[in-house]
Amino acid sequence: MTTYTGSCHCGDISFEVQGEIDSALSCNCSICSRKGSLLWFVPRQSLSLKTPETGRAYTFNQHVIKHRFCPRCGIHPYGEGTDPKGNAVAAINLRCIENLDLSAIPVHYFDGKSK
């Protein structure tokens, strides 16, 4: 299992996440399309914060996903929610992972706009 390091732009939110990145998800919902994130979903316990929880959370629509963002630089490094089976998950913004070659990761497109 690989450990990845990531952060927001200013570093106030820094984290490690364990797993194998096999793909990314690009969603066209109103928030994801504006943020431009590429998401990688992992069990919540695979994500560990290296800094104290300073992020803010934004929820909308059905209020099931906490979109975490840094109050200082505004970057959205991850989100938290539950999968359809009720398991806690984290949606990692792959653009916030250090030294990651995004061009090597297949991207799947999700029509969140219609949900």
Q: Which of 59, 97, 107 is nearest to 75 (CA)?
A: 97
State how far the alpha carbon of 104 is from the alpha carbons of 38, 57, 101, 107, in Å. 13, 30, 6, 9
For residue 29, what pLDDT is reported?
Answer: 86
User: What's the CATH architecture for 2-114?
Assistant: Beta Complex (2.170)
Domain definitions of the chain by residue range:
2-114
Q: What is the pLDDT of residues 54-93, one digit of tens each?
A: 768 887 776 678 989 999 999 999 999 998 899 999 999 9
User: Which parts of 11-89 fold into alpha helices (H)?
Assistant: 30-35
DSSP code of residue 22:
-
The tokens describing 110, both together, are 């999700």
Q: What is the pLDDT of residues 9-55, one digit of tens each?
A: 999 999 999 999 999 999 998 888 898 999 999 999 999 999 987 76
